[in-house]
C-alpha cells in the first residue's frame, strides 16, 4: 500500500437567506434578521469544511452521509455533521493540518465574528487556532450573494497522516 502522507480537499456550499431562521456560521450564532435555509441549520461554512475533508479522503460529499431526505438530519446543528466527518477522518488515519475557509456574504458584516468562528472551527477539528483560517468577503453586489439573497462558503483543508511516512 502506498502511504499518502498528505491529502488536500476542497469544499463549497451555498444557502439562501430567509426570514425566520437563525444565522449560524462556523457553529457560531450570528445576530441578523435572516438565516440560511436548509434541511439542517444550513451552516454553509461547516458544510464546506466537511465536504473538503470528505473530498481529501475520496469519500464523496456530505449529501451521501447526511441526505436532506432523512428526517434524522432535519434542523440538526451542522457541528454534529462535522463531528461525524472528523470521526471518519480519524478512522482513515488522518488529522487536519490546517483549514482555510472563506465566507462570501454581502450582509451581515462578519469581521466582528471572525476570531470566534476560528475558535469554534479549531475546537471542532481538534487543531490549534493558528491552523484555522476564516475570511469574510463580499461579492461586490454581484449574483445572489451580492444581492444579499444567499451566503456561500469555500474551504480548503490539508490532511496529514497520523502515521509517519513509509520509506520507499
Going by C-alpha positions, the residue among 71, 8, 19, 11 that lies closest to residue 40 is: 71
Identify the pLDDT of residue 59: 96
Q: What is the mean pLDDT of the chain?
A: 93
Identify the pLDDT of residue 3: 58
pLDDT one-digit tens code per residue, 97-117: 999 999 999 999 999 999 999
DSSP string, 52-119: HHHHHTT---HHHHS-TT-GGGTT--HHHHHHHHHHHHHHTTEEEEEEEEEEE-SSS--GGGHHHHHH
Mean pLDDT along residues 3-8 = 85
- CATH code that applies to domain 6-161: 3.30.1330.50
Amino acid at each position: 500500500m502506498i502511504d499518502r502522507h498528505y491529502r488536500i480537499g476542497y469544499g463549497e456550499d451555498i444557502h439562501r437567506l430567509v426570514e425566520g431562521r437563525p444565522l449560524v456560521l462556523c457553529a457560531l450564532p450570528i445576530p441578523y434578521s435572516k438565516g440560511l435555509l436548509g434541511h439542517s441549520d444550513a451552516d454553509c461554512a461547516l458544510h464546506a469544511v466537511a465536504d473538503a475533508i470528505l473530498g481529501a479522503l475520496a469519500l464523496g460529499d456530505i449529501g451521501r452521509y447526511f441526505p436532506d431526505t432523512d428526517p434524522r438530519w432535519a434542523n440538526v446543528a451542522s457541528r454534529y455533521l462535522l463531528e461525524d466527518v472528523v470521526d471518519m477522518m480519524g478512522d482513515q488515519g488522518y488529522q487536519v493540518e490546517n483549514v482555510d475557509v472563506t465566507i462570501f456574504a454581502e450582509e451581515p458584516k462578519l469581521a466582528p465574528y471572525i476570531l470566534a468562528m476560528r475558535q469554534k472551527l479549531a475546537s471542532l477539528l481538534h487543531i490549534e487556532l493558528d491552523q484555522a483560517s476564516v475570511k469574510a468577503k463580499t461579492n461586490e453586489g454581484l449574483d445572489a450573494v451580492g444581492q444579499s439573497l444567499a451566503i456561500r462558503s469555500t474551504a480548503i483543508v490539508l490532511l496529514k497522516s497520523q502515521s509517519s511516512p513509509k520509506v520507499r
